[in-house]
Each structure stands twice: as structure tokens, then as C-alpha cells.
Structure 1
Amino acid sequence: MDITGPGIKGQVAIVTGGVRGIGLGIGRRLAQEGCRVVIWDRDVSAFDTERAGFMPADLQRVDVSDFDSVQRAWDATLERVGHVEIMVNNAGINGPVTPVWEYPLEAWSRVLAVNLGGVFHCCRVATPAMRAAGYGRIVNVASAAGKEGVPGIAAYAAAKHGVVGFTKSLARELADSGVLVNCIAPVMTETDLLKEMTPEHIAASKAKIPMGRFLTVEEIAAMVAWIASPECSFTTGFAFDLSGGRANY
């Protein structure tokens, strides 16, 4: 397989949280680029090939907060498809919108376990094989909230800030290996997850975006497709903003 050209045709990409929303959009775009897409999610039974617009190379039921679950899924994926060049760590949860002094302890632990621990677990299983192959692309989904901090979602912001720091650390560890590690920091995006948020939180988030609209899944997927490709060859440890002008550093 030629991985030196500009595209990613023929490569295998794992997308976590890929059954719906942003993950599904990323999987669809990578499939359109010629990737064999593997979907990891807590409930893969909800995956609809017709709605998705592509047939996944594999579907694995995974709880990314549980390392053993991630390891089993990795082993099963390699047995099924043989190799993995791209890992997109998208799986995440919002958690409640509430001030820190009222934030449920269980919710705090769960948000960090999924949003930050899950990224670590997936990178932990993927990097040995990528290092051995001398090539790989890891894209972690962080958030603008992780760079700025947002009132009411401290656990989410803390976890996503951790994803940015973890990405930079891992990228430096792998800088001479052929494995590049970057993340994206999107603002609020038009997905079904908006239904889980209060109208006040949604309105406040939209008001921060100079373009006056939310980000789309397709825009995220286009960015990820480039970061995951051989064309992104000299950038590692970077947080790519998708902010509509909101980002200021």
C-alpha cells in the first residue's frame, strides 16, 4: 500500500463515537476519500449504513473509558482489517450544565473518564503498531471550551483542555517516528447533542462566534480528512481551531 502520496485511499481509519453526529460525519468523509473506516462506539447497533452513506470495514462495541474494552476492540480490529493508519478520537460526552459548586461528583468523574481517559486509552493501544510501521496519523477531538473555559461545563472544559495538553505531549514523544498527533478545537456544532443543552447555554455559545452561526459537521470532517492525510507532513502537536473567528490564541 502506498502511503506516500497526497491522499488516504486504501488506509484504515478508526473513528471513535462514529455512529452519529461528528463521528459519523468524519467517518463518511474519510470513506469518501477512499479509507476503510472502522467504527467504534458504545452502541454500534444504531449504525445505519444507508443513512451513513458508507459500509464500515468493521464495527466494534467499545467503552473508551475502559482500557480493557479498548484493547479488545483494537485486537479484534487488527484481526479483521490487518492494519490501522489513522485513529480519530472523537468519542465524548457533554455532562450536565451546572456550576462547579453543584456539579455531581459522579458526572465529573465520568466526563473526564470518557473525554480525556478515552483519548489516552485509544492512543495507548494504537501507538505501538504505528511506531513499528513508521507511519500514522492521530487526530484528537478537543474543543474551544478546552482552550477558553466555559461557565457551567467545567468538567467538559477541563477534559478537553487535557486533550490539548496530552496531544502536544504525545506528539513530541513521537516526533521522529513518522506518527503525527494533532487535535481540533471546534466551537459548538449543529448536532443532536444540542438537545441536551439548555437554551441559555446554546444562545450564549452562538453569541461568541463572530460569524454568527454554528459550525457544521461537514466542516469538521473536511479539516480532519486533511490532518489525517500524508499531506499534513510537518505539523504535529497542534490544535487546529474551527471557531468562526472566536479563537484569539
Structure 2
Amino acid sequence: MTRTALVTGGASGLGAAAARRLRADGLQVHTLDLQGADLTADVTDEHALGRVAEQLGPVDVLINSAGIVGPNKPLLDTTSDDWHRVIDVNVVGTVNTLRAFVPGMCERGWGRVVNFASMAGKDGNPNLSIYSATKAAVIGLTKSIGKELATTGVLVNAIAPAVIATPMNDSTSPEVLAHITSLIPMQRVGRPEEVAELISFLASDRVSFSTGAVYDISGGRATY
């Protein structure tokens, strides 16, 4: 039986790398993004996601890669609008996809979900307070739903990358990017295909006794 995967934010960067790797694993993969993907939808729009769920039918693997960095500036200079925009995409968008696709996994007794957190959600990056806070929220909700679904056959885990060479970081200021890259003991940024290998594992039967966990892929940056 061929399993079906949905990769949000799948038009570029880590989402696109995940989609390529899962296709190589033999999954039927659908990408979803605002443009340039197999399916066009905004993860902040729960009604649009409901229509996608009806269109696709059963989804066995959900990769929540959609996200934005938001403004690079001190917390005291941020606005409520700044916060709402990033929270809506990174946190509410992740919750929306879980609510749209995980119930079917529970009914069928098997599913794998990978949520994208970040090392910023553990360490807190200066001048990226909003992004850091939203990724900490993704870690918390992953731990929560992982416990809630622990006996259903649906495993929900998160990955926490350090800096990866993706278009998403093109919007990060050079000073911020230099600082967070300097924290990596391997003294280089990660490659999308390296992250995709971890996603491949977490989307498969090879992971069976891990849920609500956070997997660092940080070149040694992780300290806890």
C-alpha cells in the first residue's frame, strides 16, 4: 500500500527537500503552499484546509513545514500586528493542519506528523523574539498532542533545526544570520537534504516508540 503525504510549505526550502526525499521513499507526496506547489492554500485558513482534506482523501503523513521568520528587530520595537502575523502562520497554521488531517489518521490507526520547530524555540534568538516564541509554542503543542494521541498509532514529533541554507533565510538580516551561524560548533550551516533524512525517518515505520519528542539537527548547537 502506497502511503500519502502532505507537505505544507512544500514549494521551496526544507519543505521541498522533504517532499523530494519522501517521494524517493515511495510515498505519494502532495505539496501545499501559497504558490508553486501541487495545492494552493493558506494554512491560516481552516476552511481552505478543510476543502483540501476533502479533495485529497486519506493522508498518512503530515509534514508541517509552512512558516515565516517575521521581523528582525528588538522585542521592544515589535508591534501587535507583527506578533499576530507570525503566530497565525507558525502556530495557528500548524494547529489548523493537525485538526484537518490527524482525525483521519486516528480513525485508520496509523499516522506520522512532523512539526517544524527551531533551535530558536529552545534558545531564543536575539532580535527574533516573535519567531523564537512561535517555535517554542510548536514544541509545546507537539509534546501535548503527542501525549494525547500516544495510543492511537499516530506519532507526532518535531524537529529543531539550526540555520539551514534555504530561501527563508534570505530575509534574515546579515547580522542576525552571522550571530546564529556562529553558535554552531560544526562552523557551517546545514543543508536541506540533511534535514530531509531526519524527516524521512520520522515519517516512517522505523520510528515506533517516540512521540511528542523534539529532534535537534543543529551541528552541535543544542545544549539541552
TM-score by length of 1: 0.88
CA offsets, 1:120-168, max 9 Å, x none? 0000111210110000000001000001111111111111000000001
Instruction: Find the counterpart in structure 1 of residue 22 from structure 2.
Output: 30
Aligned to 1:17: 9
Task: Note the alpha carbon deviations across 1:188-217, whole angstroms, 9 max, x for none.
Answer: 110122221111111101100000000110
Alignment of 1:1-249 (within 5 A): 1=1, 10-43=2-35, 46-47=36-37, 59-78=38-57, 83-249=58-224
Greater shift after overlay, 115-124 or 189-198? 189-198
Where has structure 1 moved over 3 Å in runs of 4 or more?
Answer: none
Q: d(CA) in 1 for partners of 2:61 and 2:213?
A: 17
How far off its partner does 1:105 sit? 2.2
SS in structure 1 of the partner of residue 127 of structure 2: coil
Moved more, 176-185 or 189-198: 189-198
| CA distance in structure 2 between the partners assigned to 1:222 and 1:127 by the alignment | 23
TM-fit CA distance, 1:75:
1.3
- The one-letter code sitting in structure 2 at the alignment partner of 1:109 is H
Question: Cα offset for 1:233?
Answer: 0.5
Contact 2:10/2:31 (<8 A) preserved: yes
Q: 1:177: how far off?
A: 0.4
2:112/2:203 contact within 8 Å kept = yes
In 1, the alpha carbon distance for the partners of 2:50 and 2:81 equals 25
- C-alpha distance in 1, partners of 2:111/2:162? 26
Ranges in structure 2 where 5+ consecutive residues have no aligned partner: none
The separation in 2 between residues aligned to 1:170 and 1:64, in whole angstroms, is 19
Q: CA deviation at 1:35?
A: 0.6
TM-superposed deviation, 1:101? 1.2
Q: Give the letter for the 1:37 counterpart.
A: V
For these two proteins, the number of residue pairs brought into alignment is: 224
Paired residue secondary structure (1:244): coil
Amino acid at match of 1:33: D
Q: How high is the TM-score relative to the length of structure 2?
A: 0.98
SS of equivalent residue, structure 2 residue 221: coil
Instruction: For residues 79-100 of structure 1, give each alpha carbon's deviation from its aligned partner in whole angstroms, at most 9, with x where no partner exists.
Output: xxxx211000000001010011
- Note the C-alpha offset of 1:104: 2.9
